Amino acid sequence: MPRAYCTFETELGFCGIAWSDTAGAVMPALFRLPEPSRVDMEERFSARCSQGHAVPPPVIRSVIEMAKRHLGGEPQEFLDIAVDLSEEQPFARRVYAFTRRVPAGETTTYGELARAAGNPEAARAVGLLMGRNPMPLIIPCHRVLAAGGKPGGFSAHGGLSTKSRILELEGVRLSLPREGAQLELWPVAQHSAD
């Protein structure tokens, strides 16, 4: 369980990050994408963190700075950041590991991640894992689409609008459909669709 957390402001709103400290290894354990209110963000973290709000240690400050730059339009890669997924099951850890390998400017699908994680029939399970991703942005679930380039879901504040906005910052234009309209996707580069 994460011990401490802090909130911080980005160009898109207030984010939060919580970290664990196991045997001196400080790692992000939870991350929340921007919301309009710092108070709401504080409430989301306070009940889950045993030590409450704290000054972030250097490794977490580095992640915060990367997140600020990313959400300010300077895409960052978080792949080298060690993360605490100790509470996740093995399949989830594999899916999240493959998700982390999808670079900014590219997308993948739930089905492709299911195949990569060793269970090609588990696309729906992958979708559920993306919906409860403990560290969006660090584990870039916004880069995961449904089959055929459809946007899929997005559980962060703002839903698909937030997903579209973050993808746009990375060079992927996701045009959300109006009722009954076809979705258009213009990625910089895209893995093959399901």
**Mean of pLDDT values over 150-170:** 91
Answer whether residue 82 is part of any domain: no
Q: Which residues of 102-124 are buried (b: 16+ CB within 10 A; e: fewer)?
A: bebebbbbbbbbbbbbeeeebbe
pLDDT digits (tens, 9 = 90+) for 58-85: 999 999 999 999 999 999 999 999 999 9
Is the pLDDT at 192 greater than 50, yes or no? Answer: no
Q: Is residue 116 part of a domain?
A: yes
At which of 43, 71, 99 does a domain end?
71
Do both 116 and 42 map to the same domain? no
Give yes or no: residues 144 and 112 share one domain.
yes
Indicate whether 109 and 141 sit together in one domain. yes
Q: What is the pLDDT of residue 176?
A: 64
- Residue 138 resides in a domain: yes
In a shared domain, residues 57 and 116: no
* Dihedral over alpha carbons 59, 63, 68, 72 (to 10 degrees): 140
- Helix and strand numbers (H, E) in the chain are 6, 8
- Among 42, 71, 100, the domain-final residue is 71
For residues 82, 192, 145 and 166, what is the CA-based torsion angle, rounded to 10 degrees?
Answer: 60
Output the average pLDDT for the chain.
88
Domain membership of residue 38 as a residue range: 4-71
Three-state DSSP class for residue 184: strand
* Whole-number percent of the chain with pLDDT over 70: 89
Same-domain pairing of 174 and 98: yes
Amino acid (1-letter code) at residue 4: A
- Asked whether residue 76 is domain-assigned, the answer is no
Residue 109 falls inside a structural domain: yes
Residue 77 lies in a domain: no
One domain for residues 175 and 97: yes
CATH, residue 100: 1.10.10.10
Domain presence at residue 192: no
64 and 99 fall within a common domain: no
pLDDT tens digits, residue range 84-141?
999 999 999 999 999 999 999 999 999 999 999 999 999 999 999 999 999 999 999 9
CA atoms within 13 A on the CB side of 162: 21
When divided into structural domains, the chain yields a total of 2
141 is catalytic: yes
Residue 23 has pLDDT above 50, yes or no: yes
pTM of the model: 0.87
Could you give the C-alpha distances from 142 to 52, 88, 133, in angstroms and in order?
Answer: 28, 19, 10
- Within a domain: 42: yes
